[in-house]
Amino acid sequence: MPETTTPSLVVNEQKGINICEFTCSKILDETNIKEIGDVLGALIERREYPKILLDFANVDHLSSAALGMLINANNRLRQRNGQLRLCKIRPQILEVFAITKLNKLFRILSTRDEALESFTH
């Protein structure tokens, strides 16, 4: 059952992990990006040791501003001793992460199951 629904992100919780699915195929618009960032921020602040999984299955375009939003979320998560995983990223989007070397910063897994199993408890 969806816990929190926004036009851009659907969040479900499973075993203490917030699974966030992007609903828009293009994460380009600044308003959209801010909205996603605000939802992630609220999840991060909600509890100690937050765990967030971002599912990119529906995403076929994103901008550098979206990458900045993800980095900001990652930085805030670390401050809260939290964990972030990204999964199901399409090859074209994965290339964006590789070109910017952000594939070294984020933990990126192929499937949702792999990502869920990778969280330390």
Partner 1 sequence: MSEETDCPSAAPTKPNLRFTIPSDFKFSCDVQQQIMAEVDKHGYCESARFAIMLALEEAIVNAIKHGNQFDIRKSVYIEADVTAQSTRITVEDEGPGFDRCSVPDPRARENLEKCSGRGILLIEAYMTRVEWTNKGKRLTMYRVNEPDAEEAVGCVA
DSSP string, 39-57: HHHHHHHHSSS-EEEEE-T
Taking CB under 8 A as the criterion, the residue among 12, 13, 23, 29 binding partner 1 is 29
Binders of partner 1 in range 49-68 (CB under 8 A): 60-61, 63-65, 67-68
For 115, residues 6+ apart whose C-beta sits below 8 A from its C-beta are 53, 85, 86, 87, 107, 109
111 touching partner 1, by CB under 8 A: no
Minimum distance from CB of 5 to partner 1 (Å)? 24
Partner residues linked to 4 by β-bridges: 11
**Does 92 engage in binding with partner 1 (CB under 8 A)?**
yes
Distance CA 23, CA 12 (A): 13
Our finding on whether 69 is near partner 1 (CB under 8 A) is yes
Residue 116 CB, nearest distance to partner 1 (Å)?
A: 25
Sign of the torsion angle spanned by Cα atoms 41, 46, 52, 55? negative
- What does the binding site for partner 1 look like in residue numbers (CB under 8 A)? 28-30, 60-61, 63-65, 67-69, 71-72, 74-75, 92, 96, 99-102, 104-105
